[in-house]
Amino acid sequence: MSNTQSASRQAYYGEIAKHNLSPLWESLHALVPKEPRPQAVPTIWKYAHLRELVMASGEVISAAEAIRRVLILENPGLPGKASIASNLYAGLQLILPGEVAPSHRHTQSALRFIVEGQGAWTAVDGERTTMHPGDFIITPSWTWHDHGNPSIEAGGEPVVWLDGLDIPLLLQLDAGFAETFPTDTQPISRAEGDSWARYGYNMLPVRHEAGNGNSPIFNYPYARSREALYSLSRTGEIDAWDGFKLRYANPATGGYPMPTLATFMQLLPKGFQGKSYRITDSTVFSVVEGRGKVKIGETKFEFAPRDVFVAPSWQQVSLEAEEDAVLFSYSNRPVLAALGLLREERK
Ligand code: 1HN
| CA nearest to 165, candidates 111, 224, 228 | 111
Rounded distance, CA 243 to CA 255, Å? Answer: 22
Is the pLDDT confidence value at 1 over 80?
A: no
Is the pLDDT confidence value at 51 over 80?
A: yes
- Between the CA of 202 and the centroid of ligand 1 the distance, in Å, is 30
Task: Determine the average pLDDT of the residues in 147-167.
Answer: 98
Rounded distance, CA 290 to CA 270, Å? Answer: 9
Asked if 67 and 163 touch (Cβ cutoff 8 Å), the reply is no
Give one word for 202, left, alpha or beta, with left for phi > 0 and alpha for psi -120 to 50: left
Q: Is the CB of 122 under 6 A from ligand 1?
A: no
Q: Which amino acid is at 120?
A: A
| CA nearest to 181, candidates 122, 108, 104, 100 | 104
Percent of the chain with pLDDT over 90: 97
What's the pLDDT tens digit per position in 22-50?
999 999 999 999 999 999 999 999 999 99
- Between the CA of 6 and the centroid of ligand 1 the distance, in Å, is 49
Q: Is the CB of 245 under 6 A from ligand 1?
A: no
Rounded distance, CA 321 to CA 151, Å? Answer: 38
Residue nearest to atom 1 of ligand 1 (CA): 68
Task: Determine the average pLDDT of the residues in 76-93.
Answer: 98
Is the pLDDT confidence value at 126 over 90?
A: yes
- Between the CA of 193 and the centroid of ligand 1 the distance, in Å, is 23
pLDDT at residue 346 in the model: 97
How far is the CA of 317 from the CAs of 28, 70, 251, 280, in angstroms? 29, 28, 29, 12
Global confidence as pTM: 0.97
What mean pLDDT, rounded, does the chain reach?
97
The alpha carbon of residue 274 and the mean position of all alpha carbons in its chain are separated, in whole angstroms, by 22
